[in-house]
Copies of this chain bind each other. A is one copy, B any other.
Amino acid sequence: MFGAGDVRVENVPDPRIVEPTDAIVRTVRACVCGSDLHPYHSMASDPAGRPMGHELIGVVEEVGSAVTTLQPGDFVIAPFAYQDNTCVFCRDGVQTSCLHGGFYGSTEVGGLQAELARIPQADGSLVVVPGVDESSELLPSLLTLSDVYLTGYHAAHMGRVSAGTTVTVIGDGAVGLSAVLASRQLGAERIILMGRHTSRTDLGIEWGATDVVAERGEEGVSKVLELTGGEGSHVVLEAVGHLPAYEQAYGIVRPGGVISRVGVPQYEEAPIGFGSLFGKNVTLTGGPAPVRAYLEPAIRQVLAGEIDPGRVFDRTIGIDEIASGYAAMDAREALKVMVAFR
């Protein structure tokens, strides 16, 4: 990405093993993330460009000398952040804060919207999917475990969604819909989905949403309060990242309830005083999903056919068409775009 709206495919040297803990992975499927749209709107023009992408499934090509759990030919999922999965924060289940971890898309560590990728801390950052190859029908669902589904899951998990909970999900993007699916997995009794794109909210209904609210802002808040007998929602999952979505969240959360955010906040300051969070004893939680913490059980669920999160992909393109993929997601013509390689 060279600036807002400016995505191009460039030929760059193949990545090489730099650290003995690295692996090189050949990408089978990658995708465009809702969070990629934030710089797509706002990035200042930069002739050097920024490598993009942080979601990938693929096949291990080569491993560094210190890598012990992987070998060439393994089919793997890469969580959207890399981590050693052994440090004190990883052991706490906060792998996105790994002492030796980081995020893709810097100049040292490239993006994953690419044919080949260098994966740092490969033992901690790649998880083998047994018995799957490039022809599997499960590729889309497995790809969502790199970020989008488990980001929705993180929202629900941090929101302490459980049996009997009323959950409101703000945002009908791929993360919001994933949050609906995850909330149902965690036993939510009622799931109110706030979104206005019926093709999306229809999938939300299939995944467990019991109510859809198309209104936003004050109107949306009133509607959710009405649906909950004036009490508000035990849990609000905020899957957008813009301030109005957060304001909606504290408007509809029930006293003593939880707001769980997984949309990357496009703001730093926001109301948290007596009139928003404090007075109602509202808990605010969330952050970048420690996907690695949730990956093994989710892989088992996908392989067993218990969940089908891959249905968020409604368009598949080749890497040469990546610019049109961003444009389609930005225009909301596509919910989530998958990039197929070879």
Contact = CB atoms under 8 A, between A and B. Distances in A.
Interface string A319-331: 0000000000000
A282 B272 CA distance: 14
A298 B283 CA distance: 24
Interface in A299-332: none
Nearest to A264: B274
Contacts of A231: 88-89
B288 A97 contact: no
Contacts of A88: 231
A225 to B, nearest CB: 13
A283 to B, nearest CB: 4
**Residue among A276, A282, A290 with the most chain B CB within 10 A?**
A282
A306 B98 CA distance: 41
B281 A287 contact: yes
Q: Interface range on chain A: under 10, 10 to 19, 20 to 34, or 35 or more? A: 35 or more
A92 B268 CA distance: 31
Interface string A251-262: 000111000010
A268 B273 contact: yes
Nearest to A234: B92
A278 B255 contact: no
B274 A272 contact: no
A105 to B, nearest CB: 15
A281 B273 contact: no
A187 interface: no
Given A89-B255, A264-B274, A273-B268, A94 B286 contact: no
A175 interface: no
B255 A92 contact: yes
B255 A97 contact: yes
A217 interface: no
A4 to B, nearest CB: 19
